[in-house]
Amino acid sequence: MKIKTYFFALSLLCSPLFSVSAFAAEKTVIRLGVLAFGTLEWELAALKNEKMLDGADFEIQTQTLASPQAAEVALQAGAVDMIVSDWIWTSRMRSSGTDFTFYPYSNTSGALVVPANSSIKTLKDLSGKKLGIAGGELDKNWLLLQALANQQQVDLKTTTTAFAAPPLLNQQLGQGRVDAVLNYWHFAARLEAQGCKQLLDGKAILTGLGIKEEVPSLGYVFKQSWATAHKAAVENFLTTAEQAKNKLCTSNEAWAKILPLTKADDAATQTKLRDRYCAGRVTQWGAAEQQAAGKIYTLLRKLSNNKLTGTAETIQAGTFWPLK
């Protein structure tokens, strides 16, 4: 009888209901939408290289996406749980009924860059020149640059503008087809590494407009309901990802391991990319920065005639993931 009881118990233990995995706590799966040319993959590589995921209560699954627009579509369709986007889009989506929320990822923003020997020293010098702009007519940096020009009584109507993809703009500046470019930060950094000069970046533009707080330009965006249901795992991921970024900025060995992802072959470009990337680390995010975001929102709403922000007069409640 004891033998039968033993084998019966053993058969239960070996059955699917009593498998070893059943006793182990299941990890929260975080499906990340990652841009093929973005810096998020740098941190994800560092997480793996530095074994920072050992013992984590979450598992990362990635889906490579071709553009920011593709990432936004994937998040709305539920194909991914989290992407990197901006709080303007997050607020606009909340005003349409979604529960997306934003957590800071980077303070780094685009920059206005000119050739080393350029006669352009100030915004006033753009008069009669040709300016290449990434991101289209509703690019946030372009809208804010126009506001700064108006404040300084600079008429940019005499400036010829051309909108194009970031890599093409860099080529056109090198070929002399444009006199200056307002490009995304990593493309601007590549130009700087080649000897070009940065006249203004996004932070300087905001400072000129009276906004001194550093407001993150990009952040992780995800459904608030999903994050609330997996709060511990989500917050652990956000903390660990921040640690990975810090590791890349403080450890030459860790940085060397991800160099192929930068797609930069020369040391000057690699160094400039690291400098700009690390300068974008978010060190302060609280009430003051969120109030400053509200001021930026009001500016962009007016400058874009509601086209960028939507018609909501203020940032929607819940746009920012609650502070711990």
Q: Give the separation between CA 218 and CA 32, rounded to whole angstroms.
A: 15
Mean pLDDT of 83-100: 97
Residue 280 per-residue DSSP state: T
Residues 198 and 277 in one domain: no
Which band of pLDDT confidence, cut at 50, 70 and 90, is reported for residue 62?
Answer: very high
Q: Whole-angstrom Cα distance, residue 91 to residue 100?
A: 8
Residue 309 inside a domain? The answer is no
Do residue 118 and residue 193 come from a single domain? yes
Whether 151 is in a domain gets the answer yes
Looking at the structure, do residues 89 and 220 belong to the same domain, yes or no?
A: yes
pLDDT of residue 324: 60
Same domain, 103 and 140: no
Do 270 and 259 contact (CB within 8 A), yes or no? yes
How many residues can be counted in the chain?
324
> Do residues 168 and 189 both lie within one domain?
yes
Residue ending a domain, among 155, 183, 208, is 208
Q: Answer whether residue 131 is part of any domain.
A: yes
Where is pLDDT greater, at 11 or 95? 95
Same domain flag for 201 and 120: yes
Q: Is 194 helix (H, G, I), strand (E, B) or coil?
A: coil
What percentage of the chain reaches a pLDDT higher than 90? 90
**Is the torsion defined by CA of 216, 262, 83, 163 positive or negative?**
positive
Can you tell me the mean pLDDT for 59-87? 96
Lowest mean pLDDT among 13-27, 50-64, 156-170, 192-206: 13-27
**Residue 196 belongs to domain spanning:** 111-208
Do 36 and 179 share a domain, yes or no?
no
The total of structural domains in the chain comes to 2
118 and 203 together in one domain: yes
Are 188 and 245 members of one domain? no
The domain boundary, picked from 183, 208, 233, lies at 208
Rounded to the nearest integer, the mean pLDDT of the chain is: 91
Last residue of a domain, one of 181, 208, 235: 208
- Together in a domain, 188 and 229: no
Same domain, 265 and 297: yes
Task: Give the span between the Cα atoms of 230 and 142, in whole angstroms.
Answer: 38
Whether 121 is covered by a domain: the verdict is yes
- Pick from 36, 27, 34: which is nearest to 220 by CA? 34
Tell whether 241 and 278 lie within a shared domain. Answer: yes
CATH number of the domain encompassing residue 44? 3.40.190.10
Q: Is residue 144 part of a domain?
A: yes
Task: Name the helix (H) or strand (E) containing 238.
Answer: helix 231-250
CB atoms within 10 A of CB 272: 20
**What's phi and psi for 106, nearest 5 deg?**
-155, 145
Residue 190 has pLDDT above 60, yes or no: yes
List Cβ neighbours of 200 (8 Å cut-off, separation of 6 or more). 111, 112, 123, 145, 148, 208
Residue 37 — pLDDT band, cuts 50, 70, 90? confident
Give yes or no for a contact between 285 and 219, defined as CB atoms under 8 angstroms apart. Answer: no
pLDDT of res. 236: 96
The encoded tokens of residue 296 equal: 């930026």
Q: From CA 60, how far away is CA 54, in angstroms rounded?
A: 12
